[in-house]
Amino acid sequence: MSLFVYGTLLPGQSRWRFLAPFVVDGGEPDEVVGQLFDTGEGYPAARFGPTGRIVGRVFELVGERAQEALARLDEIEGAVGGDYHRIECTTVGGRRVWAYQYGGGLELRPIASGSWLARDRSLG
């Protein structure tokens, strides 16, 4: 089971500590079609498909702990503004993954690069 992450769940970011115990390795760079936004709250928002790109990493979850990981992350992601929910999608690299999609309710600013880590260089 794989998870695509694009923001605060990335290594070195504020919520990585919640994901780290459940991953097999360092993940692989990949992208998903969609748009990435800055919420102004210290975390990004993603809307997947039909155009654009969201830059992130795909992590393989530890098999016997995958459901535990997803349950914990559902709880964490659902606790922030924007009604985030887990969806299944396919990366540009062809991997079927889980990812967290933004639901609505916040004022958003597009991140032109599609990368949360490179957002400062993409905002004008």
Q: How many distinct structural domains can be found in the chain?
A: 1
Q: What is the DSSP letter of 66?
A: H
Tell me the C-alpha distance between 66 and 60, whole Å.
9
Give the range of the structural domain holding residue 39, as residue numbers without chain letter.
2-122
The CATH number of the domain holding residue 113 is: 3.10.490.10
- pTM (2 d.p.): 0.92
Q: CA angle at residue 19 from 15 to 23, to 5 degrees?
A: 150
pLDDT tens digits, 63-113: 999 999 999 999 999 877 778 999 999 999 999 999 999 999 999 999 999
What does the alpha-carbon distance between residue 78 and residue 24 come to, in Å, rounded to a whole number?
A: 24
Tokens of 90: 């396919």
Check residue 64 and report its DSSP letter: G
**Token code pair at residue 30:** 């990949």
